[in-house]
Amino acid sequence: MSRFTKLVREIHRRSLWQVLGIYVVGSWLVLQVVDTLAGALNLPDWAPPLALFLLIIGLPVVLATAVIQGVSPRSGGDAEAAGGAAGEAGPDLAGATQSAAHGSEAERQLFTWRNAILGGVVAFAIWGIVAAGWIALRGAPVGLGGAGEALPSVAALPFENMSANPEDAFFTDGIHEEILARLAQIAGLRVISRTSVLEYRDSRKNIQDIAAELGVDHVLEGSVRKSGNRIRVTAQLIDADRDQHLWAEQYDAELTTENLFDIQGDVAGQIAAALRTELSPEEAERLEARPTASLEAYEYYLRGLQLRNQGFSPQIFEEMILAWERAVALDPGFAEAHAALSIAHSDMWWFYYDRTRERLERSAASLARAREIAPDLPQGLVAEGWYYYHGLLDYARALNAFEAAAEVLPGDPEPAYGIAAVYRRLGDMETSVDYFKRARELDPRSAIMVAQIAETLSLLRRFDEARPYVEEAIALNPGFRSPYIEQARNFVATGHTDSARALLSEGTENGAIAPHAWDWIWLEALEGRYEDALQRLREAPQDLEGDPEQSESWDTQLMYVPREQWHAVLHGRLGGEDSARGYWEASAAHLAGMLREHPEDSRLHSSLGIAYAGLGRKEAAIQAGKLGVAIMPITREAYRGASRLEDLARIYASVGELDAAVDELAILLDRPAQMTVGRLRLEPWWRSLHGHPRFEALLLEHEPVTE
């Protein structure tokens, strides 16, 4: 009998084939688990090979254990027989079996099945620790589903317009946005919002740098060519870590809505498949949706989307409304266009571009039509949220709508943004911050999103925590006004007007703040530079915000201040009582005229009360201030309601009702609001309270802690 034959017989006699088979099957199962985890956690390509390497290392240990444990001293007869058989097989196997049979007690205690199993557990634990460490060090993004949920992430860069006609750029942008909208409905993906990817249009940065800045693993690139009645869409998904294509496709088809929607759905579905993301039946159905059969209606819809991304001026709103109205005229069953119209109308109301009842009724009618056509339409839920939020201030129903939208649009930051905004209006600033941060994960390059976090933290008077977000917002968009103002207020809150001045100067240099803006006039007044403030006011070519459409007032959702009021305050501080009175009278007349058109506007009543106080009309001033509070109480809305209380406190202070003023200020300082100790010490309209015992005690009680 040959040595090889005898060796095989010996291996068979010792059941090593069975041990080897069990190990191979077990290893295969382990690798399947590892592969599943690698896909779910989006682990790098080296994760499965590492597990295979550990399993290969374990194989000799298992075989050695099988040999040693197969010749236990407690079965001496078997050991002796084994030694004889091994001797026949040859000196190599004989030596091995004799070594096993006569090995030391330490070897027999080391190579036990218990230790072999424990070693396998330790090896798998090592793999888990390495994988967890990679996730932690890499900073895996947290999905909206909850903390620690790592999802495959993708950023779809703006598609290149390959059409001969440059005016077709709206079509390319629309296709890109629609693909993003479909991806946002897939719960197993983290998709970066369009706002954050727009800055990479025509960027020369490489894919790895873009992916790192956006915090994603994968990048989608594409192009659109529209030529006559043909459409060509190319798309490619790139693994940013490896700089390798995971999927690429070119779609060349007749230009019809059916083909367009099929292409959009297929791109989203192929990306999900490439990233090993399983679609639910509902998600798969939504990816196949065909919103309209009218190509012309769809093109008007895309034109409206392009306009929506250009800004928030009343002219842009009017143009996008016209585009979407044309879309629904061509296809009355186009639910998405009806939902978009509803949002645009409620925004017109919210931004005070049109406060007529007709505007709200148009928003309600468009919403009702969208919900009638497609009750489960995600965009319809979003439109419902904004209608109840912006139009009716019905925050409970708005919250329900946004939460329902978040369930079907897990990759869209808008529902989370809406939830955050609702909680801020309700006064739950902590929850608001949490949801703004969730929305930011999907829109990481949005200065607006970052600024909202900073603003909400500032309302909580957590100024040190807010500052990094302010700085980030400015870095993302140096021409964005809001973060400069937010941080200037925060500096004032701790008495650092010099820092506030430096920041406003930076904002002015960057074009975010006009040199004659209200923000500058306010700071000059805080520092007692009344002549400088008045000079800025006189030189202002338009209104305080640079908007020629509102040249007579400083008009925000929190307040309405006629320019005459600032003249009155500044002339009064400079001793010009007669001229100040003339400005107070002009301000009161201006506001009375506005109230005849908008008696429901709480801002106008409060501002009129301040004008009456300047004129010495005490009872009328208090009555107007209280009416403003009654229309917008802080219990109805924490954000704007706080402004009404502040105005009432100012009225009380101006007419000599100092204790009543302190009562209102105590309420404001005990809750999240823009009111701060720094403002109370510096703003000229609180000077009558200085030295009042209760007022001074209130300031000491709420004095911010500084480092």
- Which residues contact residue 380 at a Cβ distance below 8 angstroms, ignoring those fewer than 6 apart? 335, 339, 367, 370, 371, 374
Query: Of 324-333, 537-546, 656-665, which range is least confident?
Result: 537-546
Question: Are 260 and 133 found together in one domain?
Answer: no
Quick check: is 388 in a domain? no
Question: Are 673 and 561 found together in one domain?
Answer: yes
Choose one of 287, 306, 336: the last residue of a domain: 287
Type and span of the H or E element at 231: strand 230-239
The predicted-structure confidence for 635-654, as pLDDT tens digits, reads as follows 999 999 999 999 999 999 99
Quick check: is 363 in a domain? no
Quick check: is 433 in a domain? no
Q: Give the confidence band of 424 by pLDDT, cuts at 50, 70, 90.
A: very high
How far is Cα 497 from Cα 495, in angstroms, rounded to an integer?
6
Choose one of 246, 261, 287: the last residue of a domain: 287
Question: Are 262 and 188 found together in one domain?
Answer: yes
The predicted-structure confidence for 130-174, as pLDDT tens digits, reads as follows 666 655 544 433 334 443 357 899 999 999 999 888 888 999 999
Question: Are 81 and 184 found together in one domain?
Answer: no
Question: Are 255 and 121 found together in one domain?
Answer: no
Choose one of 287, 315, 343: the last residue of a domain: 287
Question: Most confidently modeled of 146-155, 224-233, 362-371?
Answer: 362-371
| Position with higher pLDDT, 4 vs 292 | 292
| N- to C-terminal Cα separation, the chain | 89
Closest CA to 152 of 43, 281, 36, 31: 43
Mean pLDDT of 539-543: 65
Question: Are 243 and 120 found together in one domain?
Answer: no
> What is the reported pLDDT for 1?
52
- Split into its structural domains, the chain has a count of 3
The reported pTM is: 0.77
Quick check: is 56 in a domain? yes
Question: Are 165 and 94 found together in one domain?
Answer: no
- Per-residue tokens: 233: 């869409």
Question: Are 176 and 107 found together in one domain?
Answer: no
> What is the reported pLDDT for 16?
57
The predicted-structure confidence for 44-74, as pLDDT tens digits, reads as follows 556 677 767 766 777 666 656 665 555 443 3
Quick check: is 452 in a domain? no
Query: Of 87-101, 329-343, 504-518, which range is least confident?
Result: 87-101
Question: Are 582 and 682 found together in one domain?
Answer: yes
Question: Are 162 and 248 found together in one domain?
Answer: yes
Quick check: is 353 in a domain? no
Q: Give the confidence band of 663 by pLDDT, cuts at 50, 70, 90.
A: very high
How far is Cα 422 from Cα 410, in angstroms, rounded to an integer?
18
Question: Are 555 and 679 found together in one domain?
Answer: yes
Quick check: is 475 in a domain? no
Q: Give the confidence band of 79 by pLDDT, cuts at 50, 70, 90.
A: very low
The predicted-structure confidence for 446-485, as pLDDT tens digits, reads as follows 999 999 999 999 999 999 999 999 999 999 999 999 999 9
Type and span of the H or E element at 222: strand 218-227
The amino acid at 483: P
Kindly report the CATH number assigned to the domain that includes residue 677: 1.25.40
Residues 647/609, Cβ–Cβ less than 8 Å? yes
Which residues constitute the domain of residue 19?
A: 3-138
Quick check: is 575 in a domain? yes
Kindly report the CATH number assigned to the domain that includes residue 219: 3.40.50.10610
Question: Are 601 and 664 found together in one domain?
Answer: yes
Task: Return the percent helix, strand and coil in the chain, to nearest 5.
Answer: 70, 5, 25
